[in-house]
Structure 1
Amino acid sequence: MIPRGKTPYALLASLLLALTGPAQAQLSLPGGIDPLGTLGRVGDAAQELTDRALAPTSTIERSARQLAQARIARLEGLVMASRGAVDWDDRHEPARAGEVLLLDPDPASLALARDRGFLPIEQGVIEDLGIAYARLSIPAGQSLARGLKILRRALPGREITADQIHFPSGVGAGGTSAKPATPALPRGGTVGVIDGAIAGSDRLVAQRGFASGAPKGSEHASAIASLLKSAGSARIYGADVYGSDPAGGNALAIARALGWMAGQGVPVVSISLVGPANPLLARAVAAARAKGMAVVAAVGNDGAAAPPAYPASYPGVVAVTGVDGRGRVLIEAGRASHLDYAAPGADMSAIVPGKGRIGLRGTSFAAPLAASRIAARMAQGKSAGSALEAANSEAFGASRQTGRGVLCMICRSGT
């Protein structure tokens, strides 16, 4: 029961503020590690929640503490269920086990790495982006975190990273009888989707896999394609970075997918995945943008106290949060180092093969809708920068919580 005079939002803010003490000890992983960087920000999140319009507690009643616990449990569950395919890196983020990435490898650095037991698995260049890398196996008996430290000491000044995992930032919410809307906005354009594999879309022009077992149909990606069709996107390119790989969604797969999209001339790419910063992926995003591509990404669903989400936080990426049917920012919406737009992320539906029309919730579904608006403008011959300026003109309700405003509010149902 809510005490007289207290709104659900005021109660939630009070709870969040109370969590800034003991919760910091309760929510860290063994060894006192906080992989999220979340707990020290719970108090700040509480103040933000008092300022923003939130989803009703009848829809979702998860506090910042619960969101932090859910993310920790998800990360731990992934590592445990992977049967050794995923390990913790030196920042306690999940990444592909047993190997590291060396950027811009040369014969001397590869020889030094080999001398220390780091053997080459693969050496290549990201397609159409010109970024050279080498995958190196870690010496037997060493953890991923330890291997990274050893190689960085051996090769000071070189970019060496784990191949961190990225996660979808939205979920299906069950069946619904909602009917599709018909947006009265400029339509058309091409959008690339980096996610799982798209199934059942008549707008799909081409699809390619970047993980073992890919392309493998994904409900998440198929719902995104349904929303894009409803929003008027004429052509969709799909890149499956998951397949059946237990370490799918890694940075290298996403970078390769971006390179393929650039080679196909895809003008706008939507990425509804979140993970930690990764130097290879940061360079791939920058190289794609330099070729004129607009990269749009979701801020994730780990709450306002979560660490900044990537790729949404990379410079120049269009970062998108989600709002419900009444225009209120989702309580679970994460954050990025900057925020550009909000778009529908709840009280909406899409058609998924084998399931029919399902309800959706999450910033995953806001990002492609924002991407559809940019793509429609680029289809008129505008550059990425000019398309963003045009999108600004149709956005409304600009604020600290929605960036330049809300886009595509009537694009709420996938067809």
Structure 2
Amino acid sequence: MSDTQVAALRRRGFTIQESEQLSSGKRVVRLGVPRGLALEKARQQVDALGTGISADLNHYYRPALHAEHDAAKPCSGALCGAADMVGWDKAGYSCGPSPRVGIIDTALDLDAKDLAGRRIEVLQPAGQKRGSSPGHGTTIASLLGTLLPDARFIAIDGFTAGEDGQDRTDALSLAKAIDRLTSHGVDVINLSLSGPPNRLVQEAVTSAVERGVIIVAAAGNDGAKAPPSYPAAYADVLAVTAVDAEKNLYRRASTGDYIDLAAPGVGIFGESKAEGPSQGTSLATPFVAAAAAVLKASNPGTTPRNAGARLKAGAFDLGPVGYDEFYGWGLVQTAGLCADPGLIASQGAPSSSASAGKLPALEGPTTLEQAGVASATAAEVSPAAGQK
């Protein structure tokens, strides 16, 4: 945003609360809105400053889990049999370099048993005080670590406690975290969170995908009649819903034509069985993220689109024959993750041949190219005191 544009906003009563240059080349600005000015009107005033500027509200996003311990059946062993459901190699996949997996979640308890010995780097948001609880983030990192014991994890605590005491992150923090993980060279980003659509988050997702990062997100737990959950509903993101041990859809799972894959997400615990929720699409997301990470690490030229197409082609069909808005392409299956991508493309979907024809075509195995630096500026509008 130019000095002239900033001056124009200040003349209208806006305040500059935060400004940061992203690795993509974009500058994000958090704006304070003049008291009495409706948020939609404020967004229109920012949009009117000129081309290359995109403004939106600073929406909130929350972990996609619910506390329903009574619905979870007792189990024993790592992942409570979920690994068998998806055909995961219990010895761990070692068909390529150790994958680099990004996690944007709540705080991590690095002393937790499941995280002992894992290679985890925690990036703290600069200049921001965080107070999120470690339960959700530790559970997600535990699942990923159990599936990928040799992976390198880079985690960002992008959450803080809201006025209701529940952990939440905002659009600006989420976009900055996606950008930061992308600049650290991760192969995959796990987003076990959900919220409303947001321009800045969508731009951050698009930029990361253009730079070769596979983004996997929870489909949401707002029920079948709820609107789509984001970032999962963006076209560039793999949206993951949850099923129980009998392959039934999690009763709170959001549904819609944005659902891509299903994975175990009911009654799933790591060895630590940390206090916290035990079902939700949050828990299902790491299974697909781990599978995508193996694909990318074993075949560095795999694009996000190719990874998604391969996982969908190999899914076990659930619900109505072929693609549906409940299970997507079906339950993710991980056998053959290390196979040659050309072989997978020629085989199609052995467990769901009826739906294979609807899959997007695989791209050629080309080397990933860095996307050009964007010159556009994005602005986030924050409500003033007393506004929601």
| 2:113 corresponds to 1:189 | no
Q: Deviation of residue 151 (structure 1)?
A: 2.9
Which residue of structure 1 aligns with residue 42 of structure 2?
A: 148
Q: What amino acid does structure 2 have at the position aligned with 1:308?
A: P
Which residue of structure 1 aligns with residue 384 of structure 2?
A: none
**193, 204, 209: which is aligned to 1:273?**
193
Which residue of structure 2 aligns with residue 236 of structure 1?
A: 153
Note the alpha carbon deviations across 1:65-118, whole angstroms, 9 max, x for none. xxxxxxxxxxxxxxxxxxxxxxxxxxxxxxxxxxxxxxxx22332222111110
Distance 1:154 1:262, change over 3 A: closer
Distance 1:116 1:359 in 2: 45
| 2:209 corresponds to 1:289 | yes
Gaps of 5+ in 1: 1-104, 411-415
| Contact 2:43–2:56 (CA under 8 A) maintained in structure 1 | no
Which residue of structure 2 aligns with residue 208 of structure 1?
A: 123
Return the TM-score normalized by structure 1.
0.66
Q: State which drifts further: 206-215 or 156-165.
A: 206-215
| Contact 1:113–1:154 (CA under 8 A) maintained in structure 2 | no
Note the alpha carbon deviations across 1:220-278, whole angstroms, 9 max, x for none. 11111111122235222211111346594101111111111111111000101111111
Note the alpha carbon deviations across 1:160-186, whole angstroms, 9 max, x for none. 211100111113444845221563276
1:16-415 alignment, distance < 5 Å? 105-126=1-22, 128-139=23-34, 141-142=35-36, 145=39, 148=42, 151-152=45-46, 155=49, 158-174=53-69, 176-180=74-78, 181=81, 183-184=88-89, 187=93, 189-199=99-109, 200=112, 201-202=115-116, 203-210=118-125, 212-214=128-130, 216-233=132-149, 234-244=151-161, 248-335=168-255, 337-352=257-272, 356=274, 360-382=278-300, 383-384=302-303, 385-392=305-312, 394-397=314-317, 398-400=322-324, 401-407=326-332
Note the alpha carbon deviations across 1:19-56, whole angstroms, 9 max, x for none. xxxxxxxxxxxxxxxxxxxxxxxxxxxxxxxxxxxxxx
Return the TM-score normalized by structure 2.
0.70
| Contact 2:190–2:285 (CA under 8 A) maintained in structure 1 | yes
Distance 1:281 1:337 in 2: 20
Q: What amino acid does structure 2 have at the position aligned with 1:235?
A: R
Distance 1:198 1:144, change over 3 A: farther
| Contact 1:342–1:403 (CA under 8 A) maintained in structure 2 | yes
Distance 2:191 2:26 in 1: 20
Distance 1:135 1:357, change over 3 A: closer
Distance 1:205 1:154, change over 3 A: same
Q: What amino acid does structure 2 have at the position aligned with 1:134?
A: V
Q: What amino acid does structure 2 have at the position aligned with 1:267?
A: D
Distance 2:197 2:141 in 1: 26
Distance 1:252 1:149, change over 3 A: closer
Q: Deviation of residue 348 (structure 1)?
A: 1.9
Distance 1:406 1:106, change over 3 A: same
Task: Indicate the percent of aligned positions where both proteins have the same amino acid.
Answer: 29
Q: What amino acid does structure 2 have at the position aligned with 1:210?
A: P
Q: Deviation of residue 292 (structure 1)?
A: 0.2
Aligned length in residues = 302
SS in 1 for 2:178: helix
SS in 1 for 2:154: strand
| Contact 2:123–2:155 (CA under 8 A) maintained in structure 1 | yes
Distance 1:210 1:172, change over 3 A: farther
Distance 2:68 2:222 in 1: 17
Q: Which has the higher contact order (CA 8 A, sep 6+)?
A: 2
Which residue of structure 2 aligns with residue 38 of structure 1?
A: none
Distance 2:47 2:288 in 1: 43
| Contact 1:304–1:333 (CA under 8 A) maintained in structure 2 | yes
SS in 1 for 2:17: strand
Q: What amino acid does structure 2 have at the position aligned with 1:184?
A: D
Distance 1:336 1:267, change over 3 A: farther
Distance 2:198 2:44 in 1: 19
